[in-house]
Amino acid sequence: MDFSTDAPPAGQPGAIRARLPYLRLTLTACAVLAVVAVPLAALLRGPTSAAGAAAGVGLVVASYLISGLSVAWADALNPRLLMPVGLGTYGIKIVILGVGMSAVAATGWSGLPDMGVAIIVAVVVWTGAHLTWALRAPLPYTQPRGD
């Protein structure tokens, strides 16, 4: 794995991609979860449960991707934008997710409990993978000036 800390400065080509090195591990972990969870849900509870599991994992992946990409974009454009873009993205996402989940719940869809479980498990998997990446990434180091 490449843990390069030589990210291009804000405004340079490749600046956004350089700020997202953790995505390979987190997306792989969630893909493995989906490969296991969807067939397992189909086997144990049927196709509606499989759809719920797939939707839950997909929702978490989409949510975290939106957050990661928006924060990386803000940092690559101007690091002063990190806080407003991050908080704005979070606020908009929570409202959209709340309204969307309320609409799904109002339909009485039988895959909703499976979707809820998949969301919880996918959040744990993504967070665990991200934490694993962070703990393995080298810490940036600057050489102290000689006095």
Quick: pLDDT tens for 32-89: 999 999 999 999 999 999 999 999 999 999 999 999 999 999 988 888 999 999 999 9
Could you report the per-residue pLDDT of 16-27, keeping only the tens digit for each?
888 899 999 999
Using alpha carbons, select from 97, 98, 93, 124 the residue that is nearest to residue 30.
Answer: 124
User: Alpha-carbon distance 68 to 24, whole Å?
Assistant: 12
71, 85 contact by CB (below 8 A): yes
Which pLDDT band holds residue 4 (cuts at 50, 70, 90)?
A: very low
Whether the per-residue pLDDT at 140 is higher than 90: the answer is no
Distances (CA, A) of 27 to 51, 79, 83: 19, 25, 24
Residue 3 clears pLDDT 50, i.e. is over it? no
Give the model's pLDDT for residue 6: 64
pLDDT in tens, 82-134: 999 999 999 999 999 999 999 999 999 999 999 999 999 999 999 999 999 99
Per DSSP, helices labelled H in 21-111 are 23-45, 47-77, 82-107
Give the model's pLDDT for residue 10.
Answer: 64
**Which H or E run contains 131?**
helix 112-136
For position 1, what pLDDT does the model report? 37
DSSP string, 119-130: HHHHHHHHHHHH
pLDDT of residue 24: 95
Q: How would residue 2 be classed by pLDDT, with cut points 50, 70 and 90?
A: very low
User: Which of residues 2 and 43 earns the better pLDDT score?
Assistant: 43
pLDDT tier, 9 (very low <50, low <70, confident <90, very high otherwise): low
**R_g of the chain computed on alpha carbons:** 19
Contacts made by residues 63-66, CB under 8 angstroms, sequence distance 24+: 63/93, 63/97, 64/26, 64/126, 65/23, 66/93
